Amino acid sequence: MEMRTKPFLQEVAEDLIAKFGSQLQHCAIIFNNKRPSAYLQKHLADIIQKPFFSPSFFTIQEFFANATKYKIADFYLQFFTLHKIYNQLLIEEKLETISSHKFFPLAKIILSDFSQIDSDLVDAEKLYQDLEDISIINKEFDYLSPEQYEFLAQFWTSYSEGKHKKQQELFIKMWRRMPKLYHKFHEALKAQDYITNGQAYRLLAEGNINEQEFLKTFEKGKIVFVGFNALSSAEAKIFTQLQEAEKALFYFDADEYYLDDPLQEAGLFLRKNINQLGLKNVFENQTSLMKTTEHSVNVFKVQGQSAQAKILNHILVDDYKKKDELGSTVVVLADESLLIPTLQTIPTNYNGNEIDLNVTMGFALATSSIFGLADLWLTSQLEILQSSKVSYKNVEAFITHPLSGLSQKMRDKIQTALLNENIVEIDHQRLLKQSGLFEVFYKKIDKPENVVNYLLEVLDYVLTRLSNAKTLKKIDAELFVKTIQELNRLNDTFGKHIGSEEIPFVIYLVQKSLQAIAVPLAGDPLNGIQVMGLLETRNLNFDKVVILGFNEGIIPKSSIGNSFIPDSIRRVYGLPVLENLDAISSYMVYRLLQRAKNINFVYNSLTDESTSGEASRILKQLEFESGFDFKYNELNLDIKTEPFKEVQIEKTSNEFIQQTLQKYLNKTKVLSPSALTQYISNPIDFFFNYIAGIKEPKEVSAIVEANEIGSVLHKVMEYFYQDLRVAEITAERINERRKLVPGLIQKAFNAVMFNHPDKVIEYKGMQKVILAIVDAYVSIILDQDIKQTPFNIISLEQKVEAEITFPLNGQEASVKIFGYIDRVDVKDGVTKIIDYKTGSDKLTFKDIPSLFDSDGKHINKALIQTLLYTYVYEQYAGKTCVEPNLYIVKTMNKDGIWFKSGRQNLSGDYLEEIKPEFLAELRKKLTELFEAPYFVASAIPDNYKYSIYKTLFGK
């Protein structure tokens, strides 16, 4: 087997044993993060090969926290303390206080700035004084980016363009407040025996670290710092003090390739540590692994975000086969959102052998169904607090949620009940009455301390129910336990602060904290394929490295995070700036590569809102100067789609279809004009709708569909003319009755939307818009009718039916056609059929045959329907010369109410010529419906543009 390059931590282990032997137990070993200590212990054990006393391991935060006599304050203690003091300062300035809710995003930024100021030993007073001076001089604010400006502006309700000066006063006052806020905040914490992390660093750095009691534990050994790179000023000061007192050793993981070349940003911080601070690297003068060992690099350009994970099976196939020793393969997710696609891609076993997979990254709770349930509970509680009602969409989400565990029967029953009433909001009391799960889920929060308690009750109830029913998945069980632990911890940490807060704010806090939780997934920490984020790879080495999400803007990141301290001032005070992120990212990648033989970079080449579609600049730089062996792979994964097949439904040998068609022939089923026009424009739609009976599921919606506007309008016109039709209709009578229209519209709206004409409701938002539209439409129709006066109305919304015969297999057959005619008028002895249309129907037609051509572009559904009504009405009422009129409300002002072919109006003699031709074509179509062997799709996409069955017939 070829020689492996020794991992950095193995070299550290060998050196430590050589230096300290059995005295190693007196050493403290300090890393940036937790992960490496397991690896170092394993290397020590492999070398010593017998039981030994382990040295003490710490992360740098733990080490400093142990060295100070205070407790470290968690985020909530810091937030509530900061908020209290901020409001005290506002009161002193005789200003209005700010609510927790509004202050929260502001506080996160202030706390992170404070922490940076402390760990970089900056004089807060001076820094904020400078900020204030600059903003006074620079009343233009040009150092704030538009985003920062926008962000700040959200916190001052008085914001408006015209108040720019006022705005600046507010900023200046804010800077002025900061030094006081900073000092009082730290005093208030110390009074309770707490400090922040940043303060712990500052206290140690500004005192004499060597006098700390805690360090005496390690007098016989040394304090060993392993693998550090970028140091804050506090760390730098503490490190140099310890080195001067000969208490510390530093193992830097460096390579002369980037250490000795000032143009390589990867070496920026190491050069600073070694050359400027004078920290001595135990491993100096080592040969450059970047230059001397071979590295083969594969670059995969992939189209699409999750597609990046899909090629892991191609890259890792050899690793699935072998059971390899420690640290052979790592998958690094530069973009952490790729965790789920990665877990879905890597199989659990390969050729019958289990694959060892260890995920050290947290699984984001926010992507799980448990978070979905908790989040739904929190939003429903907000609705109950606001209005004692819960929106239909939240109730529906609850009853259909996989974890609510309701039976399908129960779900259907509740949904049907709610659909029938079309209620957009459901009364809280009514939900509580459902008992069981509903009672627990919809129990109203009575005080802020109970937000977490009640949520725990809900999760507990659901968990017990699922485990009793034995339907709990393993990962869900782990997530439940983790969420419950997290919530209990939250309860402990903010429990004592929230007594006087508003309940909605506590709900917001719980939502935010749950979103941030990452659940570690268990695995054997050191064996098999490791999946980790870039930060977690510090100090570790692998022979084979796969980095997913290697895009510009992701690595290095393109923003430093929110801060109120502008770049110019950050530079003066030595606070981190954007280039630092470049240097840190480059270093993390380079140190991972220097000992890796097989390197794979995967990036997404599609531009979307999260990535630029470009490979990281680090990749371009490596390719340009490293001399590694690069291979390019473009993977356009074939997305397998079903080959398109023309769907046609055979009628002849299908018994069910034959029986259903027979029902029309023996009149147990009747044909409506809309069924017929559906058959004409797209025959296969007729099959799905009228033969197979596949209907679109009903939905409750606060928005009114276009066809419902039509229904409301028809109702209003019916109400309007109901009492007028007793006598001749004149312009005066129409105008007289017009004042009733608004009331009639509301009655019609309630009848259509809630099956309840006399319901009293308060109209909101969209509903008001609908009422206004209908009002405008009624006006147009009445104006048109006034032009027609005087006339008489024979019927309103009358149901009519008639038979129509046609040849079928050489015999005569017939079907019954029925419909509701909006209105029948008589004017100057001519009977007119009036049809109202609110859509964008047309009055023009080419000729009669083209009306019936399913594969043509000239089908006019409105004309077919009105001519059909005309025919049926003539049969039904025993009249002739009945004339169809179409009231298309959107266009009738300019286009009138008659159908036209070319210039000719469809009335009088022309109409009488057309009627028999129409009848003949209609009979042909009916023969086709019952005789043709197949139901087929129209050849013209426009004819089924709005069909709900498109996907069923393969379009």
The tens digit of pLDDT for each residue in 157-213 reads 444 445 556 666 777 788 889 999 999 999 999 999 999 999 999 999 998 878 888
β-bridge partners, 650: 934
Q: How far apart are CA 676 and CA 867, in angstroms?
A: 12
What was the pLDDT predicted at 519? 76
pLDDT digits (tens, 9 = 90+) for 315-330: 887 887 776 666 688 9
Q: Residue 673, preceding bond cis, omega within 30 degrees? A: no
Mean pLDDT (whole number) for 87-102: 91
- pLDDT at 702 exceeding the cut of 60: no
- Name the residue among 693, 709, 664 with its Cα closest to residue 838: 709
What was the pLDDT predicted at 417? 80
Question: Hey, which of 2-16, 324-338, 513-527 has the most confident mean pLDDT?
Answer: 2-16
pTM of the entire structure? 0.72
- Whether the CB-CB separation of 557 and 26 falls below 8 Å is answered with no
DSSP one-letter string for 851-881 = HT-TTSS---HHHHHHHHHHHHHHHHHT--S
What was the pLDDT predicted at 157? 42
Q: Measured between alpha carbons, how far is residue 870 from residues 402, 418, 667, 796 in Å?
A: 53, 40, 21, 15
Greatest alpha-carbon pair distance for the chain in Å reads: 119
Q: Residue 341, preceding bond cis, omega within 30 degrees? A: no
Question: Is 448 strand, coil or helix?
Answer: coil
Q: How far apart are CA 734 and CA 523, in angstroms?
A: 81
- Name the residue among 51, 182, 70 with its Cα closest to residue 125: 182
Reported as a pLDDT band with limits 50, 70 and 90, residue 299 is very high
Q: What are the phi and psi torsion angles at 463 (to 5°)?
A: -60, -50
What was the pLDDT predicted at 238? 93
Question: Hey, which of 551-560, 697-706, 783-792 has the most confident mean pLDDT?
Answer: 783-792
What was the pLDDT predicted at 643? 59
Angle between helix axes 706-722 and 741-754 (nearest 10 degrees) is 130
What was the pLDDT predicted at 717? 94
What was the pLDDT predicted at 89? 94
pLDDT digits (tens, 9 = 90+) for 222-254: 999 999 999 999 999 999 999 999 999 999 999
Q: Measured between alpha carbons, how far is residue 735 from residues 279, 690, 728, 789 in Å?
A: 96, 43, 14, 12
Mean pLDDT (whole number) for 430-442: 83
Mean pLDDT across the chain, nearest whole number? Answer: 85
Mean pLDDT check: name the lowest of 317-331, 538-552, 812-826: 317-331
Mean pLDDT (whole number) for 701-716: 78
- Whether the CB-CB separation of 185 and 82 falls below 8 Å is answered with yes
Reported as a pLDDT band with limits 50, 70 and 90, residue 305 is confident
Question: Hey, which of 72-81, 400-409, 753-762 has the most confident mean pLDDT?
Answer: 72-81
pLDDT digits (tens, 9 = 90+) for 636-659: 655 555 556 677 888 888 889 899
Q: How far apart are CA 30 and CA 231, in angstroms?
A: 14
DSSP one-letter string for 484-539 = HHHHHHHHHHHHTT-TTS-HHHHHHHHHHHHHH-EEEPP--SSSSEEEEEGGGGTT
Reported as a pLDDT band with limits 50, 70 and 90, residue 293 is confident
Q: Which residues contact 521 (CB under 8 A, 6 or more apart)?
A: 359, 362, 363, 475, 478
- Whether the CB-CB separation of 546 and 570 falls below 8 Å is answered with no
Q: Which helix (H) or strand (E) holds 80?
A: helix 75-92
Q: Measured between alpha carbons, how far is residue 399 from residues 185, 394, 406, 414, 421 in Å?
A: 46, 9, 7, 8, 17
Q: What are the phi and psi torsion angles at 813 (to 5°)?
A: -125, 170
What do you get for the CA distance between the two ends of the chain, in Å? Answer: 57
For 686, the token pair is 């007729």
Mean pLDDT (whole number) for 520-548: 84
- pLDDT at 798 exceeding the cut of 70: yes
Mean pLDDT (whole number) for 291-300: 89
What was the pLDDT predicted at 167? 63
Half-sphere exposure of 338 (CA within 13 A, CB side): 33
Mean pLDDT (whole number) for 680-708: 78
Q: Which residues contact 746 (CB under 8 A, 6 or more apart)?
A: 763, 771
Q: How far apart are CA 396 and CA 106, in angstroms?
A: 35
Q: When comparing pLDDT for 635 and 122, which is higher?
A: 122
What was the pLDDT predicted at 409? 86
Q: How far apart are CA 821 and CA 724, in angstroms?
A: 18
pLDDT digits (tens, 9 = 90+) for 731-757: 999 999 999 999 999 999 988 887 778
Residue type, 474: K
- Whether the CB-CB separation of 98 and 87 falls below 8 Å is answered with yes
Q: Measured between alpha carbons, how far is residue 43 from residues 36, 325, 326, 619, 725 in Å?
A: 11, 12, 10, 32, 99
- Whether the CB-CB separation of 651 and 661 falls below 8 Å is answered with yes
3-state helix, strand, coil in the chain (%, to 5): 55, 15, 30
- pLDDT at 521 exceeding the cut of 70: no
Mean pLDDT (whole number) for 101-123: 92
Question: Is 582 strand, coil or helix?
Answer: helix
